[in-house]
Chain A
Amino acid sequence: KNEVEQSPQNLTAQEGEFITINCSYSVGISALHWLQQHPGGGIVSLFMLSSGKKKHGRLIATINIQEKHSSLHITASHPRDSAVYICAVKGGAQKLVFGQGTRLTINP
């Protein structure tokens, strides 16, 4: 079993839909990162959180430390949101462990 599991692996939705991507982890962590990887390969850091909730534009990330679970939500989804979303956790060591990614496709 991987330390970081994301679901779903693939998600296709229509423009305007509310999107939720989930990340579960099995180790104690001090930080969780959500990353976005564009079709061209570039990676952008969306959020880093250790508790609670963060919001940036149409993106919201939440984390429940007790349940070892985080969610990334996208409101009013748009085709430009199509990308791979990757969850990564920092455990005790100075390194990130990555989930396998969720491939999101938003159709117009």
Chain B
Amino acid sequence: DSGVTQTPKHLITATGQRVTLRCSPRSGDLSVYWYQQSLDQGLQFLIQYYNGEERAKGNILERFSAQQFPDLHSELNLSSLELGDSALYFCASSPLGTAAYEQYFGPGTRLTVT
């Protein structure tokens, strides 16, 4: 158990809908990273938050947004969902703001868009 929690574990929704994925980092970790893993693309970095502020942005679509709250949990919002958004979404946390430190991964949320 990494200490990182993600909810929900599974999510099935229809095209055009909006969903929110939630991540709680390990106690004391200030950074949260979001990743998408699809069958054809592998793992891809989406976005990082550090202590409530956006720190780095990767291949995140404009239909997706995220935020980190004062209690350090983070939410990833996915809107106008398309079939191609079906994937595993992981969050990871680390103590500091640099990706040069070990990251602790949550169990993931499996999103299926039908």
Q: A: which residues have CB within 8 A of B?
A: 30-31, 33, 35, 41-45, 48, 50, 86, 88, 90, 93-101
Contacts and interface: CB of A to CB of B under 8 A. Distances in A.
B71 to A, nearest CB: 22
Contacts of A90: 98-100
Consensus secondary structure, chain A interface: strand
Interface residues of B, number: 25
B52 to A, nearest CB: 16
Interface stretch (B17-25, B42-50, B61-69, B72-80): B42-50
Given A31-B99, A93-B56, A42 B42 contact: no
Nearest to A99: B42
Contact of A94 (B44, B99, B102, B107): B99
B98 A42 contact: no
Contacts of B33: 96
B88 interface: yes
Contacts of A42: 105, 107-108
A43 B56 contact: no
A45 B102 contact: yes
